[in-house]
Chain A
């Protein structure tokens, strides 16, 4: 029990400030990350494009077109300056910059629909095609009404009336029976892997290295306590510490679920607990090497950021290349994120798949614990 108490004494005396600072900073980050994404809706909502218009024609028809497009999109006004437009397109503040050319209404009335608009483009993508489809639909409808003998203003009016008729769109919610899972809480859980790795490696490794320092270790070695008991108590101390940190993050996570976790969220909770154990096992493994505080900080950055970038914590796994994903299979965070994605994407929910991934994570913890034991034995033998 003495060693157990000393573990927490060392923790409290030398590490309370970093632990509190890290936990608070990471909680702030977690909140930021969680609120960066928006919650998925349960009904179909059309994607609104940000469109900037420059109306060189300035006719009733061109204004009518802008108003009509503005009903389902955001019309953004920008200064007609190339640098301003470049900035807006580069940072995606606008999706399209469209100029309605002079003579638009006259050309439309006379049936000359060639190059009525100028689109200033930077990135290609679906937004452009979407705008293209819409304008094509609009212009061909106006032209059709004109060819049927209507004048321009009637043709525009009829087109807009016809276009206002919406298609029947149904939203298939495959996850409808489980309201406990929401996007924000799952984003919080996803970033939690980075936070657990960073907090636990930074603090736990440091504490254990402190405990293994010559003065303290020699004092313990010449006491009556057995070596195995010492190791056991260090493990016990680490487990209690890890559970405490994990528990704090779970309590905060409840803020996003408006109360106690329920349904599939328990899988996410279990997943995070196992990942906390994996992180602790990595931290204990690192502490086998007698390294200084600065090196621990470096290793924390490299391991936590590296795993997060490679395994799909910061960037969706769907956006990572095949090669990166193949390599990241050998890292625990990959399986953690996979479990999270299955829970979030309720459509492909499969409990047995989740359980097999959780076992893989446990396997990583087992490997690190085994390596720690082997390394310690090796070091003890040669010391």
Chain B
């Protein structure tokens, strides 16, 4: 009887268009949109193209011109400077084709149209020039004999910073949207969990009423339904991760099997959460689904599905919440795999998921069992 119930639950699950849309199609579609929108952002934000700048000479300044010429000739230049007249420069600035205009004369000044890091770098550049000029003037005023030494110190190439990479993993922080997408898709398994509860409670559905008066023990039909939904969720999670990893080509490093494990356990967490939700109260299935959607979307919002910054904000204000928010636990487990070298934190998350599955399933069973109805 267990296998009969198990088989029919799986059949009806895969035939439900609504469930399949939300659990398979919707994450895939959203994943495609994420890929379209985010694929170039990380590269754009981390690329350091030379900053387009116009130089307008209000007066002759040979030294500044030679600095700009030297900068333009250097290989790792951060400035792409072009000498032009003021009107052209203003037009270019207005059209956003350059980030700033440097006026070179007796004094060096800068004109910008926006606030940003490029503009701040231009400011740093002219301040660096002004600083050198000031130091040389100061020294020459005090003791001209030191001028040569000072100029040599100021123009010396230095390597004052030693750079150490903190991780060898995937550092593209826009990929965290995909981790959260997997978390959302896993938690959508709650619709199946709610379906199990309502379809087994005589006061909530006609199917539940029929099942309650059938000779099959409730324990068997419930266990079969739970196992069936775990099986469906297993398939959905595998499809979701496979699509994200192999079609959208999101880099999960060389630990892909562990990503599958996290997504599958995440899916089971979603089912058990739904099973627990479905067991509470006498609300209709649609109402419970609506409530579940609200809760899942809030949890996903707090783990960074809509706004990537949310998780670190929560980590700062209420770190305990990230440890119990199922969406944050699932997405965090995949994040850990991608950026940490060791697996300690990953396994902590996995254990958290297993405990959550056991607790929600147990609560759901306790609340659903031994219910008798005098009349319906």
Contacts and interface: CB of A to CB of B under 8 A. Distances in A.
Interface of A: 36, 40-41, 44-47, 82-83, 85-93, 97, 113-127, 129-130, 132-137, 139-141, 143-149, 158, 162-163, 165-174, 294, 298, 301-302, 305-306, 309-310, 314-315, 319-321, 324, 345, 347-348
28 contacts: A44-B123, A47-B117, A86-B167, A91-B308, A91-B312, A114-B159, A115-B162, A120-B164, A122-B171, A123-B42, A123-B171, A125-B48, A126-B48, A130-B121, A133-B78, A133-B124, A133-B125, A144-B154, A147-B152, A169-B110, A169-B123, A172-B93, A174-B113, A298-B26, A301-B29, A305-B30, A319-B41, A320-B40
B374 interface: no
Contacts of A145: 135
A338 to B, nearest CB: 14
A137 B113 contact: no
A285 to B, nearest CB: 20
Interface stretch (B66-74, B141-149, B199-207): B141-149
B161 A301 contact: no
B111 interface: yes
Contacts of B339: 86, 90
Given A46-B120, A129-B121, A309-B33, A92 B109 contact: no
A117 B162 contact: yes
Contacts, number: 236
B349 interface: no
A147 B146 contact: yes
B2 interface: no
Q: Which of B78, B113, B139 has the most CB of A within 10 A?
A: B113
Given A87-B315, A147-B150, A169-B112, A162 B134 contact: yes
Interface string B247-284: 00000000000000000000000000000000000000
Contact of A135 (B38, B161, B309): B161
Contact of A310 (B33, B38, B164): B33
Nearest to A116: B160
B90 interface: yes
Q: 6 smallest A-B Cβ distances: which pairs?
A: A309-B33, A91-B312, A168-B109, A47-B120, A144-B153, A148-B146
Contacts of B118: 126
A172 B94 CA distance: 9
B112 A172 contact: yes
A130 B21 contact: no
A167 B103 CA distance: 11
Contacts of A309: 33-34, 36-37
B340 interface: yes
Contacts of A46: 115, 120, 123
A207 B82 CA distance: 60
A301 B27 CA distance: 11
B217 interface: no
B82 to A, nearest CB: 17
Contact of A132 (B109, B149, B161, B176): B161
A245 B337 CA distance: 46
Interface residues of B, number: 88
Contacts of B42: 123
Contacts of B335: 90
A290 B176 CA distance: 39
Contact of B33 (A91, A132, A306): A306
B312 A93 contact: yes
Interface of B: 17-18, 21, 25-26, 29-30, 33-34, 36-42, 44-48, 78, 90, 93-96, 107-121, 123-128, 130-132, 134-135, 138-139, 142-143, 146, 149-150, 152-154, 156, 158-167, 171, 173, 176, 307-309, 311-312, 315-316, 335, 339-340, 345
Contacts of B78: 129, 133
B44 A319 contact: yes
Contact of B112 (A166, A171, A294, A324): A171
A87 to B, nearest CB: 7
Given A47-B119, A119-B162, A123-B173, 9 more contacts: A124-B48, A130-B117, A133-B124, A144-B154, A162-B131, A169-B112, A171-B112, A298-B21, A347-B94
B126 A167 contact: yes
Nearest to B150: A144
A165 B107 CA distance: 13
A299 to B, nearest CB: 11
A298 B251 CA distance: 29
A167 B113 contact: no
Contact of B131 (A124, A141, A168): A141
B153 A124 contact: no
Contacts of B176: 90-91
B312 A87 contact: yes
B161 A115 contact: yes
A206 B34 CA distance: 28
B154 A140 contact: yes
Given A91-B311, A144-B139, A148-B150, A121 B166 contact: yes
A83 B41 contact: no
Contact of A121 (B90, B130, B164): B164
Contacts of B111: 169-172
Given A137-B128, A149-B143, A117 B160 contact: yes
Given A44-B112, A314-B37, A120 B46 contact: no
Contacts of B142: 148
B294 to A, nearest CB: 10
B128 A127 contact: no
A65 B312 CA distance: 28
A103 to B, nearest CB: 13
Interface centre among B40, B130, B153, B309 (most CB of A within 10 A): B153
B284 to A, nearest CB: 14
Contacts of B39: 321
A167 B17 contact: no
A130 B117 CA distance: 8
B165 A134 contact: no
A133 B33 contact: no
A89 B163 CA distance: 14
B181 to A, nearest CB: 12
Nearest to A166: B127
Contact of A122 (B94, B113, B125, B165): B165
A267 B85 CA distance: 34
A87 B118 CA distance: 26
Contact of A85 (B29, B166, B309): B166
Contacts of A146: 153
A174 B94 CA distance: 7
A172 B78 CA distance: 23
Nearest to A93: B312
Contacts of A125: 45-48
A345 B335 CA distance: 37
B244 to A, nearest CB: 16
Contacts of A301: 26, 29
B154 A315 contact: no
